[in-house]
Structures are given as structure tokens and as C-alpha cells.
Structure 1
Amino acid sequence: MGIPVKDVLQLSVLKPARVLAGEPQMENREIEWISVIETPVENFVRKNEFVLSTGIGCSEDPVALESYVQDVINSGASVLAFATGRHIYKIPDRVIKAASKHDFVLLELPWEVRFGDVLHDVLQEISRQKQAEQQRTEEIRQELINCVLNGKGLQEIMKIVYENTAIPVAISDHNKLVRANYYFDQHMIQVLNGEVEGDYQLIPSHETPFKDHPLYHYIEEYQIGANYCYQLTILSNYKKQGYLLFKPESEDELTWSNLNILEHALTACALYFVKENAIEMTEIRLKDNFLLDLAKTDMEMDKQLQSKAQLLGYDLTKPYICLVGEIRFTKKVDDHIGTPDQAVMSSSMHSRNYYIQKEVAHAGDVLKRRTMATFEDGEVIVFLEADKRPYMETANQFLDLVERRLNELLAGINISWGISMHKDGIYTFHKSYNEAVTAYNIGRQQHEIGERTFFSDTRMNRLLMALSHEKEIEQIVKNTLHKLIEYDQKRQTDLIHTFIVYNKYNSNVSQTARALNLHRQSLLHRLRNIEQLTGLSLLNADDMFLLELSVRLWMLKKVDGE
């Protein structure tokens, strides 16, 4: 941020100055500071500096004077002014020629012009210019913040930035998906959005102007195909939200002023993402609470409830299948991801829930079915719009889509499902949920994890569950199995499981032995132990029925007690 040399020379104190070289560059060169420097120059002069000199020490040596001027030129200064009349009476032609060769602005000042007056007036003009520039950037900063506070989007932020910097800009999210842009390179946008093939990568950045600007160390250079741009990371609460991409025509456009505007744009973008995330989280929380109440509370389906559902994007007038699932991982995966850090566990859960929610919505879109989903303590609750087909067929098709994609995203995940659609059709969310939970609980004691249990297939188990609460039946079960249970516990055997498999194969010894991977004589020995411990005969139909009924009731009770 500087003042053009031409404007500085309009100051009254510099009216007597005579331009000896570099006049065509006076509009392009800027002055950011002024100083009095004599030989040697060394590193005392910085870029865009107005240098005043008397030429002392070089007055009798034109070669030394030329060398001094060359050192000032090499330092990146904008102007060199010699006070003539005491040490130097006339600036040598060779010095003027050297300055002209480099398009460097060289001035001659009469000795009567005091350096102190020049310093005062130039510094005052630089200060005034900086204050005006700061006022301008402050107004832009306020405009950017108001843009977010007034509900405008990222595109409006990009428009403000471009109109005040003339630098093409774009905003991407943390996945590099471009959300908004203003005159940014369209091919680069298509590569970032995955619309066309192309590679993009960070590259070691060469030096950019204004090393002393706060943004300097945060600017990264980005290569997309054969093109290059710069990027700044948008952060809020130390979390990466996205990127501000900008593509100046040349590094000369990266002025202090423009970098200030980009810095303010970063703040506005961070504020926008925080606001967006807060709105999204509020909407998710409202949806979760609504669905949990819908599933777990017997609510009256009045107009107020339906209006609330419509505001959240739900239609309660359709028939829905309820799917209740429990998420589990294989032990190997659990061991790998397990950590005592609660924050990491919470983050992992949110990430997992995000993927599940995403795949539920995707499967619903594929099947053209409405879906409503929520989570609570590892439990997944999904309401899937039903159709005229059997609900089991629709649910299986839906879960096949969900689980196939989930297995690609989350290795080792398993979800056991209980599924129901209440016979009354619509407005049966609470009843369907209870039936799905019942189906899940029954399926848990019958199957391995990752299975699906339909409520309509659990009639026998529900009948047994009802019987299991009768005191007299509970006593019969206890008397029938207590010796068998004690034997298994003491000897670390599994005679009950042996009976279940034996009964499954309709008392076929050969098939049972193969299923249990036992020698035939070992199986017969186990069967004799069962008869001896229970006092029942496995050849008697009534005894077999009593033993089967007792085992099934005992297993139901065992699951309920876990």
C-alpha cells in the first residue's frame, strides 16, 4: 500500500525537483517510506522507498557515485533524489544513463530544499493515504460481515471481494467442492468438483510480495492441471471449514490492501460456515427429537403435529415401515478404533452416524421412497415409506442398498435389524416401533449379528414370551433344566446347544454330529447325559416337546436378563 511517485511529486515541497530519469514509470512506482541514506547502501534501503541523498563521499568519484546509485536500484527503492549544490554540483551523465537503463526514477533537488521538510511532508502524505486505505478496508470488512449477518450467501461475499480487488476468487468446502466463485477459472472449478479429470496438488510456493503481511505465511500455492492459484484455509474453532482460492494475474496484484481484503473475506467465510453449521445442527437436533418422540411416544396425530412434520420436511400421511437396528463392529475393528479419549469416540460416532444417514437417504432416493431416520445410543431408527408390495420385500431391497454401500465406507460394520409395519397402516409410528424393537430382541437371541428379523415371523416367540411370565410355567422350566444348566456351567460343556442342534435336525444323529463336528459316539454320550440330567427320554414325543419348550423359554429369559 503506497503512493504513486507522480502524486508525491505534486507536494509543494517537491515542486523544485527535476526529473532526470524514469519519468514514464512515475505512475507505476509507489512510495511506502522515505529515508536519508548515504553510502554504503548495504541493507538499509527497502523496497518502494524514497531515498534522499547528498552524495557525500562520492562527489569526487563518478564511478563510486554510479555504484551507489546501482546499489539503491538493486535494493528495490522507487526513487532516488540527490540534493545538488554542495557535494554534487551536477549529476554525471553516466549516472543518469544507468538510472534510465533500469527505468529508475532519479530526481535532482536544489540544496535549499531541506530534507527535514521533505521527510515531514512525504510521511504526512503516506500517513494520510494509509488512513484513507484503512478506512476503506474497514468499510469493506463491515460490508462483508453484514453480508453474512443479513442472510446473504457465499456468492455475495465473492462479489464484494472481486469488486474491490479485481482478483478472481472462489470458495470451496473442506472437500474442495467449489461453493461460490467470481470470474474464477472454470476448468479449475470443474477439476475440483470432479466434473472433469485432472490432478490438483499443493506445490512449494515461491516468494510472494509483502512478507511482513500477517497472511504471508498462510498463503499456499496450488496447482490444478497446468494452472496455478493461491489458497487460504478457512478456519473456525480450529476446525478446517474450507478454502478461499484466488488467482491474481500477477503477484503485483497482491498488494497490502488486497491482502487485507482477502483476510477480511476469510473472517466473513468462517462466520458464514459457523452460521451454516449452527443452522444445520439445529435442524438435525429438531428432526432427531421429533422422530424420537414420534417413535417412542404414543402421540396424537393432530394438525399441529402434522404441521410441525411438514416444516421439517416429513409427510406423516403415508404408510411407513419401521426398522430398528443396533450398530456393531467386529472385534478387530473395535480394537483398532478403540480409544479412551471420549472426544475421539464422540467424533467417531458422529462420523459413523453421518455415513449411515447419508446412505439411508441415498437408498430412499434410489427406490423413490421417503425416509426418516434418527439415532440414539447406538440405536438406528428408520421409517421407510411403504408401497403395495409386501413390506418384507421392500425392507430387504432398501437394506441391501444401505448395507452394500456402508460396508465399503465403514469396514467391519454390522447392523442387526428388527422390522415391522403395523397392520393399521398410517399413523402407527409408535406401534410399529414397539413391534420392530420386539422383533429385534427376539432376533438377537436366535441369530448372529447382522441379521434381519421381521415382526410377522415372530409369532411363536411372542407366544413363548407371554407364557414365560407365568409363575407356574417358570417353575416347570426351572425344574426341567436346572441340573442341565449346572452341569454345563461346572464342566464347561454345552449340552443345551447340543439339544438345540439335535432338535433342529429332527433327532437325526448323523446330521447333528456333522453340524457339531463331533464323532457319532461323542454325540450319543452327550445325548445320554441330557436324558440322565433331565429325567426325560429323547425318544418320547411329549418329553421332547417339554424339553424344547423349556429350552426356548429359558433362552428368552436369558436374553431379557442380559
Structure 2
Amino acid sequence: MGLTAHKIVQLPLLKEAIVLTGTPYLKETPIEWISVIEMPVENFVRENECVLTTGIGCHGDTLLLKQFVKDVIQSGASMLGIATGRYIFDLPQEIIQLAEEHQFIIVAVPWEVRFGDIMHKVLEEINQDKKIERQLTEEIRRELINDVLQDKGLQEIAEVIVKHINVPVVITDYARYVRAAKPVETETLKKFQQDDKVPLSTNESPNVTYIEHPLYPQIEGYYVHEEKWYQVLISTNHRKQGFLWFTLPDNKPLSWFMMNVLEHGITACALYFLKENAIEMTEIRLKDNFILKLAKEQNSDLRELMSKGELLGYDLKCTYICIVGEICLRDKTASFAKFKQDRPPTSSLQSLNYYIQKEITHAARLIGRKAMATFDEDEVIIYLQTDHHLHTETANEFLDTIERRLNELLTEVVLVWGIAAQKNELGGFHESYNEAKNALELGKKQQGGAERTFFKDTRINRILLTMADHKDIIHVVKETIKPLIEYDEKRQTDLIHTFMTYNKHKGNVSQTARELNLHRQSLIYRLRNIESLTQLSLINGEDIFLLELCIRLWQLRVT
């Protein structure tokens, strides 16, 4: 592919021309343009150009001619055609030697052959060659696009690229996971997988024939397994999808044609990733809608539900626990604030959902359980497969795994969970969701907030909630704990928490002082304040019960 010096010297117009130097390199030397030039060369000659000259500027001076030839060689020209018979008759041996040392082609052109005729024929050949090249690259483009439209994968795309430009190719996603390769050694692929690469220096750019190609600025070079590899980003709608990698064995030049093929390959990869994303998003949307319907609607037709679940890869015959989580921020009072109401400037609910979903999948796989999960704004809904008698242990193991990893990634947020068991094998999804949701809300209302609440442990609070609307009870609660609330607000103390801790330790002053990190006498002073403010005795069982009941009702926000 491409016009070469060999095709030029084979033109009928040049049948009398003589190749003086560089004969072995005729077939591999590309010709991309042709020009006529006399001294000086300066920057008038570009790479891979066929240069014609009469030598008139040298005036028969061998040194000047030698310098002229040297300048042409250094410009990157492919060959030099010298008109002989007027100003130059025989090329001096030292110039021939200079050309041979640089593997440079010099052709002696008879004076009678007009440069205009040569340029006309060469430009015709260049245009014809470019036309053929454009036709071929267009065919390759159609072949690649058709492969994607016919549901072929990235491996087929890599094979098409390799077939036409004959260089090894690797295609990875943006996480550097190898999706396709052809032909690449296993050891090198492991290095790609490990993202083991070192950037090339600026003077190690690929050997290209056209730096004007739009692909060229996008090429980045790296050492992978001690080999030079070059990568180009694959993106769609400003979203980074992956990379196309290639290497150039024996420093093979990267031609315009090769860059065109690589560019079409990148377009095909982008289209494939776009199609893959669309399929994935459709599947995710269907699964999300299905799980939301399970949770938030009372489903009577279990047969239809199981059929839909099976199509999405879910087995509804299993026993599941429902886990409802909420993304929150813990404020200075150790309670929970909704994440969407007070979102950190560096956080995004969408990116949080991505990390949480990833960890849900990882945790379920790690403990060997099936999981169905979705998001509803800042609410996480999970159905986790479990055994009938182990749902507490299963839930704790699962959530411990999630939180251990998320605490490292999402330091500014906390996830609060409510957990409920499924009522029966073939249903109960809606009921268990409601119970998990209630457990979550009740846990948040506890003193300090509970990060994990099981519905079965909320029996007392549920009983208390049934009393919440009674006017006499509301009046008793206000009358009993209002002095404590006002005292805490005025003195910046926490007598309510002090009493609940004291009651938890069944009146043991030493244990209470140790947990609150107080001196024993300071604790006794607080306890006396509580008795004074409430007119209740902390050694009287009925008074203690009344105070605890009122505080619990107040914490449930019933006052």
C-alpha cells in the first residue's frame, strides 16, 4: 500500500534514468509528494518527498553539490532526481558514498526529460494511490461498523484491524480490563491487566509518516512488559470508555493508511461500548423497576411475578431478608441528617450509588448469597437470600462486608439500615420492605441513632407508637421531661442521656460513670439534678419506669 520509489523509476518516462544509489531500498521507500528545488534546501523539503534538481545552483562546485545532497538527505526526503547533461554530468564518488552511507536513493535523469512531465506523472500516481487507499479505508470502515451492527464483539474488531495493518492490538475498558487482543503474548496481557506500564519519553514517539493526521495528537506511548505500546482513548459523548493499544514491531512506520484504519477501529469500539452501555442500562432499568415493584406494591399474582423474575435472573423461590438503607450524614449531635438535604460539595448521589451497588454485588458474592438491589433516590433496597433460621447472622455478615469497604471510600457519609425477615417463601416482599423501612425509621429516632436496626428488635418502640396520639400521654410526657430538656439546652448538658445510661446499667454508678467518662461525684451530682428537676426518685421503680417511658416517647418524636 502506498506509492514507492520503485514505482517512480519504473515509469516509462524514466526508462533512460539510472539509479545511482539506494537500489535495495526502492521498494520500501514511500513517496508522498514531489518538488523541484535548487539551493538552498532550508525547510522547503518535507519528509518522504521526491526532489528534482538541475544542480544549477552549485556552478560545478563539488563541495556545494555535496552540501546540497547532504541537506536534502537531512530533510527526510525519500529520493533525489538529478538532471544530468548540462550542469552535472557525472556524480562525484564522494557524493555517491555519502548517499550509500545514509541508504539514500539518487537517480540520474537525462536532461531531455522535462521535470514538468515527471511531476505530472508522479502526481497522477500519488492521486491514484490515495484514491485506492481512501476506497480501501472506506471499505474497512464499513466492515468494522457492520461487525458491530451484526452483534460481533471487540475481538472481531481487533482481528479486522490486525488483518489490514498487521500490528498487534489490545482493546481494554477504562478500568484497564483486557476485552480483546490479537496477537499478543499471555505475559504481556497480564501486564495490561495489572496496569503495569511506564510512560515513554517525548523523543520515543512512534515513527509516523504524517503528523498532520488528527489521530496523531491522541497517541500516548508506554512501556508494557519492556515493549513499546501506544494507546488511544475510546470515548463516547464525553464519557471515557476504554483504550485501543497497538505496538509497532521493528519500529515499523505508522503511515497515514494505518492511522485511518486505527481511527475507524476506535470509532467501531466506541459504537460497541455505546451499544453495550445501552443494553446494560436497559437491563438495569428493568431490574430496578422489578425490585421497586416487589418492594412497594402488594403483588397478588405470584406466578407472573416469578416468571418475570426468572427472565431477569432472579429466583423468587428462595427465602430473602429485606434490607433498607439510607445515605445519611452524621451531624455534631451524633444524629443522622438526610444526605440529599445536606450534601457535601465533593459528593454526588449518582457516584455514591455506583460505589454502593458495586460493594453490594461484591459482598453478596463473597458470602455466597444471591442479592437483588436497587435505589430509590437516597434509599437503598436490598433483598438478600438467607436461610430461615440464620437471617440475623446473614444480614450482619453481609452489612459488615459492605461497611468495611465503604468506610474507606465514603468517609463523609454513613449508611443507616433497617432489616426485616421475609414472611413466607412465595411472597411477603412488600410486607418485609415495610417492616425494614419501619425498623430504619425507628432506629434513627433512638438516642444517638442506630446504624443497624432489626424489625424484630423494635417491639417496644412499636408498642410505644400506638400510645403516641393519646392526649393524656402527650401531656404527661411534656410535664415530666420538659424541665430536663430546658436544663440541657440552657446548660449545654445531657441529663437525658445520663439517665438512660444509668438505667441501662441498672443503677450501677461505677459502670455508668465509666461509660460516660465522668468522675463518680460528677455523676451523682447529675443524678440529683434529674431528681430535683423531675420530682421523681431514682430509687423508686415506678418513678424510673415513668421517666424512661416518657424519654422513649419523646425520642420517637411524639411530643
TM-score strictly above 0.5 = yes
2:295 is the counterpart of 1:292: no
Q: Which residue of 2 aligns with 1:71?
A: 71
Deviation at 1:523, TM superposition (A): 4.7
Q: 1:27 to 1:339 in 2, by over 3 A?
A: farther
Does the 8 A contact of 1:301 with 1:427 survive in 2? no
Task: Specify the code of the residue in structure 1 equivalent to 2:347.
Answer: M
Q: 1:343 to 1:174 in 2, by over 3 A?
A: farther
Unaligned runs of 5+ in 2: none
Cα shift readout 1:513-549 (whole Å, capped 9, x = no counterpart): 5544555565555445544544444444333333322
Give the count of matched residue pairs. Answer: 551
Larger mean CA deviation between 367-376 and 202-211 belongs to 202-211
Q: 1:147 to 1:403 in 2, by over 3 A?
A: same
2:204 is the counterpart of 1:202: no
SS of 1:254's equivalent in the other structure is coil
* Counterpart mapping for 1:443-454 below 5 A: 443-446=443-446, 448=448, 451-454=451-454
Q: Which residue of 2 aligns with 1:351?
A: 351
Q: 1:9 to 1:138 in 2, by over 3 A?
A: same
Q: 1:495 to 1:74 in 2, by over 3 A?
A: closer
Deviation at 1:339, TM superposition (A): 13
Deviation at 1:171, TM superposition (A): 0.8
Q: 1:447 to 1:394 in 2, by over 3 A?
A: farther
Q: Which residue of 2 aligns with 1:419?
A: 419
2:11 is the counterpart of 1:14: no
Distance 1:24 1:485 in 2: 99
Q: 1:515 to 1:213 in 2, by over 3 A?
A: closer
Larger mean CA deviation between 133-142 and 145-154 belongs to 145-154
* Counterpart mapping for 1:397-546 below 5 A: 397-411=397-411, 413-446=413-446, 448=448, 451-518=451-518, 523-524=523-524, 526-546=526-546
2:263 is the counterpart of 1:266: no
2:246 is the counterpart of 1:229: no
Cα shift readout 1:126-168 (whole Å, capped 9, x = no counterpart): 1111111111112212222222233221111101100000000
Q: Which residue of 1 aligns with 2:321?
A: 321
Q: Which residue of 1 aligns with 2:279?
A: 279
Does the 8 A contact of 2:423 with 2:431 survive in 1? no
Does the 8 A contact of 1:148 with 1:268 survive in 2? yes
Q: Which residue of 2 aligns with 1:176?
A: 176
Q: 1:498 to 1:131 in 2, by over 3 A?
A: same
Does the 8 A contact of 2:221 with 2:228 survive in 1? yes
Distance 1:340 1:414 in 2: 13
Cα shift readout 1:205-238 (whole Å, capped 9, x = no counterpart): 4243232222222222111232221111222333
Q: 1:275 to 1:113 in 2, by over 3 A?
A: same
Task: Specify the code of the residue in structure 1 equivalent to 2:284.
Answer: I
Does the 8 A contact of 1:232 with 1:245 survive in 2? yes
Unaligned runs of 5+ in 1: none
Does the 8 A contact of 1:328 with 1:415 survive in 2? yes
Distance 1:518 1:344 in 2: 38
Deviation at 1:374, TM superposition (A): 1.6
Q: Which residue of 1 aligns with 2:366?
A: 366
SS of 2:325's equivalent in the other structure is strand
Task: Specify the code of the residue in structure 1 equivalent to 2:396.
Answer: N
Identity of aligned residues (%): 52
Deviation at 1:403, TM superposition (A): 2.3
Cα shift readout 1:355-395 (whole Å, capped 9, x = no counterpart): 32222222222332111112233322211112143321221
Does the 8 A contact of 1:177 with 1:193 survive in 2? yes
Distance 2:463 2:430 in 1: 21
Q: 1:110 to 1:419 in 2, by over 3 A?
A: same
Q: Which residue of 1 aligns with 2:550?
A: 550
Q: 1:556 to 1:125 in 2, by over 3 A?
A: same
Deviation at 1:37, TM superposition (A): 1.1
SS of 2:41's equivalent in the other structure is coil
Distance 1:522 1:344 in 2: 42
SS of 2:347's equivalent in the other structure is helix
Larger mean CA deviation between 321-330 and 253-262 belongs to 321-330
Does the 8 A contact of 1:99 with 1:106 survive in 2? yes
Does the 8 A contact of 2:317 with 2:425 survive in 1? no
Deviation at 1:70, TM superposition (A): 3.1
Does the 8 A contact of 1:414 with 1:450 survive in 2? no
Distance 1:450 1:551 in 2: 16
Distance 2:346 2:531 in 1: 53
Q: 1:282 to 1:458 in 2, by over 3 A?
A: same
Deviation at 1:328, TM superposition (A): 3.6
SS of 2:321's equivalent in the other structure is strand
* Counterpart mapping for 1:28-107 below 5 A: 28-107=28-107
Q: TM-score, normalised by structure 2?
A: 0.89
Task: Specify the code of the residue in structure 2 equivalent to 1:372.
Answer: M
Task: Specify the code of the residue in structure 2 equivalent to 1:227.
Answer: E
Distance 1:342 1:282 in 2: 30
Larger mean CA deviation between 76-85 and 365-374 belongs to 76-85
Deviation at 1:555, TM superposition (A): 1.7
Q: 1:494 to 1:89 in 2, by over 3 A?
A: closer
Larger mean CA deviation between 541-550 and 181-190 belongs to 541-550
Deviation at 1:77, TM superposition (A): 2.1
Deviation at 1:354, TM superposition (A): 2.4
SS of 1:416's equivalent in the other structure is strand
Q: 1:97 to 1:501 in 2, by over 3 A?
A: closer
Larger mean CA deviation between 457-466 and 251-260 belongs to 251-260
Task: Specify the code of the residue in structure 1 equivalent to 2:220.
Answer: E
Q: 1:338 to 1:82 in 2, by over 3 A?
A: farther
Task: Specify the code of the residue in structure 1 equivalent to 2:266.
Answer: L
Does the 8 A contact of 1:339 with 1:345 survive in 2? no
Larger mean CA deviation between 351-360 and 97-106 belongs to 97-106
Distance 1:343 1:256 in 2: 46
Q: Which residue of 2 aligns with 1:156?
A: 156
Larger mean CA deviation between 483-492 and 308-317 belongs to 483-492
